Amino acid sequence: MHLTCTRAQAIFPSEGLKLWNEKPLPLLWDCHHGDIFVLMVKGLAVEPFPGEVAAVPLTLEVSLSPYDEVLTKIETFAAHHSLPLSLWPTFPGQLQDPLVLAACHLPEARLFIFSETAVLTARATPEGNLRLSVAGAFKSRKVPCQETDLILHLERAASTRLLSFCFSLLREKR
């Protein structure tokens, strides 16, 4: 499923780098390996970042409009992957789930920056978008990689809860 990422930012002070998007980019939400689902944004810009430690290293903002079109995408994606959507009677302020992996590939620096202990927090923005924040202890390794990207791996249950969160938010907006 493709959605639009209106804002992406990853700040890694220990590496002195910041990733961000100059324009809206496609966000891919797909099944990766069996019960692992991936959210991926490619085409991010990289620049030096001499700042302090970021409160939240990774932030993504995803457009959920036009509402009817995104709602159809979510319903189709959930049905295709047998993910049971739940409509929550009252919309929660946020959703938190552990991630299997949060990572960025930086080919020019030959870096793979990752966390296997990251936690995803999802919130609705006042504009009706979805804000995803990721916090965790990030490490890096020197490895060859092909393209700059930001990826989040979720277990099936976490992906289902996040889809249901989006589904409930969209149904509330209708």
pLDDT at 173 over 80: no
Q: Which tokens go with 44?
A: 């991010």
Spell 135-156 as b/e; 16+ CB within 10 A means b: bbebebeeeeeeebbbbbbbee
Model confidence at 171, pLDDT cuts 50, 70, 90, reads confident
If phi > 0 it is left, if psi is from -120 to 50 it is alpha, else beta; for residue 110 that is left
Average pLDDT over residues 138-148: 94
How many domains are contained in the chain? Answer: 1
Model confidence at 56, pLDDT cuts 50, 70, 90, reads confident
The parent domain of residue 97 ranges over: 2-173
Kindly state the percentage of the chain with pLDDT values over 70.
Answer: 97
